[in-house]
Amino acid sequence: GAAELGPYRHFMQKEIFEQPRAIGDTLDGVTAIMPELFGDGAYKVFKQIDRVLILACGTSYYAGLTAKYWIESVAQVPVNVEIASEYRYRTSVPNPNTLVVTISQSGETADTLAALKHARSLGMHHTLTICNVATSAMVRECQLAYITRAGIEVGVASTKAFTTQLAGLFLLTLALAQVNGRLDDEQEAMYLKQMRHLPVALGSVLALEPQIIAWAEEFARKENALFLGRGLHYPIALEGALKLKEISYIHAEAYPAGELKHGPLALVTEEMPVVTIAPNDALLEKLKSNMQEVRARGGQLYVFADVDSRITSSDGVHVIRLPEHYGLLSPILHVAALQLLAYHTALARGTDVDKPRNLAKSVTVE
Ligand code: G6P
């Protein structure tokens, strides 16, 4: 009801603004990295596995894609990420030394549950879930679990569930790294400190709302949008495009920026807003040349940079700067900006933000 909304117009907006609290709660009490954060016996399981298979749907799948970048780079464990509805029906090559990780807000998504059972039927019995509902079927079915503390999510378009999944997946990354001898005390302390500071860092991203509203007013008049990211921020580009299409009904696609010239560049005209996620990381220089390719075709760039990215506004290049550069955890901050962009674009178009047409909060039948 309206009373629960407080100062917000929709649950989605409320849930976006709840994220500092949700992440804080999800990481509350984590004072050290250890496998047991995922349940009793986790150390033994993490010792036995030599690969990870992530299964999920929708926004949870994009959390999984982000985790692949983290786990492979930090823990050096190979990761496959599969859409649950594909995995359950294809013939794949099982390996018993796999840690099967499901990611689900509801813990009741039919395809994700079926994919988990399929993996088990192939002899893969090490299972872990990152889930927001402690009493769900998913948590009952998995050997190990990390329960995110987003709280009840009402908006069909997932927001706080996603960022808390990322927090849980980052902990998993660090725990796997530790078991593999790839996390020393100094690194552990540094990551813990960064995680503790996340709620404040996220709060300062949410404070960019007025600038994002100005962009949303322009987006509301468009019928197409392209989202670009590279590396860790490619999955975030996918999630940003998904948010925009789910609630504003604008056709949006995401590409890893290096793929521009293999297709999407053909779509770029003055009418095409191109959202670019451009934190100051190792790929920034490459990304800048992708941005030139867009500008050369008249495309309008909307760049989410950060305090350290050397990118300035110019003709056709609009820049919003996130206040902190956040390294590996930067996707959590950048996605919040994209959630606000989708939300305000939908608001300007007058769509039913919390209940977009044809979509359900959780898909419990196939
Ligand atoms: C539906 C929801 C999405 C969600 C997906 C997976 O499509 O609208 O927001 O990401 O299901 O749901 P799950 O509960 O498994 O994360």
**What is the Å distance from ligand 1's center to 289 Cα?**
35
> Is 131 touching ligand 1 by the criterion CB < 6 Å?
no
Report the pLDDT averaged over residues 287-308.
92
Per the CB < 8 A criterion, the answer to whether 343 and 10 are in contact is: yes
The Cα 177–Cα 171 span in angstroms is 10
Which two three-digit tokens encode residue 256? 């890893």
Which two three-digit tokens encode residue 243? 């948010």
Per the CB < 8 A criterion, the answer to whether 34 and 175 are in contact is: yes
179: left (phi over 0), alpha (psi -120 to 50) or beta: alpha
**Per-residue model confidence (pLDDT) at position 309:** 87
Q: What is the pTM of this model?
A: 0.97
Which two three-digit tokens encode residue 236? 């975030």
Best residue among 106, 352, 366 to mutate for probing ligand 1, ranked by most atoms within 8 Å of CB: 106
Kindly report, residue by residue over 189-203, the tens digit of the pLDDT.
Answer: 999 999 999 999 999
**Per-residue model confidence (pLDDT) at position 347:** 97
Query: Is 355 noted as a catalytic residue in this protein?
Result: no
> Is 58 touching ligand 1 by the criterion CB < 6 Å?
yes
Residue 360's contacts (CB-CB under 8 Å, 6 or more residues apart) are: 156
> Is 266 touching ligand 1 by the criterion CB < 6 Å?
no
Q: Work out which ligand 1 atom sits closest to the CA atom of 109.
A: 15
Mean residue pLDDT across the chain: 96
**Per-residue model confidence (pLDDT) at position 366:** 86
**What is the Å distance from ligand 1's center to 102 Cα?**
12
- Does the pLDDT of residue 259 top 80, yes or no? yes
Burial of 96 (0-12, 13-18, 19+ CB in 10 A): exposed
Name the residue among 157, 154, 155, 153 with its Cα closest to residue 131.
153
Query: If pLDDT is split at 50, 70 and 90, which confidence band does 1 have?
Result: low
Q: Which of 39-53, 60-74, 277-291 has the lowest mean pLDDT?
A: 277-291
Query: If pLDDT is split at 50, 70 and 90, which confidence band does 365 have?
Result: confident
Residue 245's contacts (CB-CB under 8 Å, 6 or more residues apart) are: 251, 252
Relative to beta strand 273-278, strand 224-229 is parallel
Kindly report, residue by residue over 112-163, the tens digit of the pLDDT.
Answer: 999 999 999 999 999 999 999 999 999 999 999 999 999 999 999 999 999 9
Report the pLDDT averaged over residues 347-364.
94
* DSSP letter assigned to residue 155: S
> Is 109 touching ligand 1 by the criterion CB < 6 Å?
yes
**Per-residue model confidence (pLDDT) at position 2:** 60
The Cα 346–Cα 181 span in angstroms is 47
Bridge partners (DSSP) listed for residue 98: 51
- Does the pLDDT of residue 88 top 90, yes or no? yes
Query: If pLDDT is split at 50, 70 and 90, which confidence band does 4 have?
Result: confident
- Does the pLDDT of residue 356 top 70, yes or no? yes
The Cα 78–Cα 73 span in angstroms is 9
Per the CB < 8 A criterion, the answer to whether 55 and 102 are in contact is: yes
- Does the pLDDT of residue 109 top 80, yes or no? yes
Kindly report, residue by residue over 320-339, the tens digit of the pLDDT.
Answer: 999 999 999 999 999 999 99
Report the pLDDT averaged over residues 25-38.
98
Bridge partners (DSSP) listed for residue 277: 304
Report the pLDDT averaged over residues 92-102.
98
Best residue among 109, 111, 135, 164 to mutate for probing ligand 1, ranked by most atoms within 8 Å of CB: 109
Kindly report, residue by residue over 180-235, the tens digit of the pLDDT.
Answer: 999 999 999 999 999 999 999 999 999 999 999 999 999 999 999 999 999 999 99
